[in-house]
């Protein structure tokens, strides 16, 4: 078993079950200054977005590079990093090592294992420059080192490198999603964009479509993940760690419509995954339930109490009454805040009545809202064949169930103080960013809080089928 030069902690995210971020992400490094080691001295080169050396092919750019010292690697470093068995098996010496081993010795924080280093080689992300780098005139009469493309080549896992040779990491600095579209000429279905920038997007998923296709098939292209490359703009050149294909960071049921958050970069994927895991994303759903839903006094709470529970109440008065459901699902805590909005008479419904309700989940258990309404309040979602109990409810299933994720508030995954570059970009472009949002579908806006937090707020209209349920007079609205 191979030991690593530096055992670094691997960040875990809630997205591991959705995708292998190592396979789908373009790993990048945001260091602006890289160092090239020459035979005699070290020359520092400052690299900016439009000056990254071209890789192989020309659509790639070199973002990091390091020259193996003229005397080779330090023997003590090799001995302390790898077992005697590995040294013997791979025939490692200071002046002759395999490419994966060289990557681990040059960048131990980035390549903590041979598996990771080998993957990078197979993905055609590692180049080798045979012989010394070219010395060309620099600014102010100085000099700089550059690559001779005649000596530049893609490596193989079995290749070995020697002193004086340079290893380089390349990635794409311009991005497009055309390669994800394969041979198809159009998107599989219409997917409205509610918000998007270079890092994150929020789309309005139609009812009847899954977010991801089943592992063993079943929906083909008829899923949000397949549709995203057609509708979203790729990040502009220079944005680092761009995902090869934009990916949703959470799921909503096939029968549920509404807002779905999508990451465009690997850092955004991590930040958003953590935000969902820590329940910092505030979601609001609207549903029509089967029955005249009751509001028990013992489970009634005020808006102020609801806010303390961590749900987004907005500008509601503190005297507004809400209902609290605390009912575990699969032995896990499950909390829903809800309130009724209005009622309609409807034939074949329970008590010949249906109710429009607003729901704010604090947790995100499987079918939480559907099961809480059916099992705790005794009013399943209208048309929900899984939980409506059958009987006359079967006659109300023609349009599917009535549930829409129509509001969401979340912290921007890049424009925050934890990322100085993101905060700087926001400060420089906040007016432009705000203006661009005016051209998008739906009601979306972005705000800066007193503590510097940048929040995205999105809201959409309810689907047309909500309005097609028989409506009663204004006097039937809940006071």
Contact 248, 225 (CB under 8 A): yes
User: Which ranges of 191-329 would DSSP assign to H, the alpha helix?
Assistant: 224-231, 266-277, 303-308
Nearest to 238 by CA among 169, 173, 176: 173
- Concatenating the DSSP letter of every residue in 96-135 gives BEEHHHHHHHH-TTT--SHHHHHHHHHTT-EEEE-SPPEE
Contacts of 451 (CB under 8 A, 6+ apart): none
Task: Tell me the longest C-alpha to C-alpha distance in the chain.
Answer: 88
User: Which ranges of 293-337 would DSSP assign to H, the alpha helix?
Assistant: 303-308
Provide the annotated active-site residues.
253
* Token couple for 213: 């296709």
What does the alpha-carbon distance between residue 260 and residue 406 come to, in Å, rounded to a whole number?
A: 10
CA distances to 21, 181, 327, 436 from 444, in Å: 29, 28, 33, 11
Contact 456, 341 (CB under 8 A): no
């Amino acid at each position: 078993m191979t030991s690593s030069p530096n055992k670094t902690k691997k960040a875990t995210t809630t997205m591991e079950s959705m995708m292998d971020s190592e396979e789908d992400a373009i790993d990048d490094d945001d260091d602006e200054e890289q160092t090239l080691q020459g035979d005699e001295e070290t020359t520092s080169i400052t690299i900016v977005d439009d000056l990254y050396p071209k890789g192989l092919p020309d659509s790639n750019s070199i973002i990091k590079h390091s020259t193996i010292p003229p005397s080779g690697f330090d023997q003590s470093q090799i001995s302390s990093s790898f077992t005697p068995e590995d040294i013997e098996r791979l025939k490692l010496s200071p002046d002759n090592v395999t490419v994966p081993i060289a990557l681990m010795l040059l960048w131990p924080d980035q390549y903590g294992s041979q598996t990771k280093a080998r993957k990078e080689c197979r993905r055609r992300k590692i180049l080798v420059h045979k012989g010394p780098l070219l010395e060309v005139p620099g600014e102010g009469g100085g000099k700089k080192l550059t690559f001779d493309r005649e000596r530049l080549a893609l490596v193989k896992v079995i290749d070995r490198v020697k002193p004086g040779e340079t290893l380089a990491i390349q990635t794409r600095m311009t991005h497009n999603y055309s390669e994800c579209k394969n041979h198809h000429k159009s998107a599989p279905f219409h997917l409205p964009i509610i918000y998007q920038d270079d890092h994150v997007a929020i789309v309005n998923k139609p009812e009847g479509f899954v977010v991801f296709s089943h592992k063993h098939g079943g929906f083909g292209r008829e899923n949000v993940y397949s549709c995203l490359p057609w509708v979203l703009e790729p990040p502009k050149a220079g944005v680092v760690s761009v995902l090869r294909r934009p990916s949703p960071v959470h799921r909503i049921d096939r029968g549920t419509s509404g807002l779905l958050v999508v990451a465009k970069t690997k850092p955004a994927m991590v930040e958003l995954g953590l935000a969902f895991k820590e329940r910092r994303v505030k979601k609001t759903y609207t549903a029509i339930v089967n029955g005249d839903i009751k509001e028990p006094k013992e489970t009634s709470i005020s808006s102020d109490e609801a806010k303390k529970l961590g749900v987004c109440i907005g500008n509601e008065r503190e005297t507004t009454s809400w209902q609290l459901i605390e009912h575990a699902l699969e032995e896990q805590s499950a909390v829903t805040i809800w309130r009724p909005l209005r009622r309609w008479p409807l034939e074949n419904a329970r008590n010949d009545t249906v109710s429009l309700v607003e729901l704010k989940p604090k947790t995100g258990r499987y079918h939480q809202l559907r099961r809480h309404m059916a099992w705790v309040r005794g009013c399943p979602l209208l048309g929900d064949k899984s939980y409506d109990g059958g009987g006359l409810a079967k006659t109300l299933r023609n349009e599917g169930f009535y549930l829409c994720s129509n509001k969401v508030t979340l912290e921007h995954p890049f424009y925050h103080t934890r990322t100085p570059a993101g905060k700087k970009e926001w400060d420089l472009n906040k007016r432009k960013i705000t203006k661009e949002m005016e051209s998008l579908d739906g009601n979306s806006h972005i705000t800066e809080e007193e503590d510097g937090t940048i929040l995205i707020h999105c809201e959409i209209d309810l689907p047309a089928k909500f309005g097609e349920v028989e409506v009663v007079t204004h006097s039937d609205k809940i006071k």
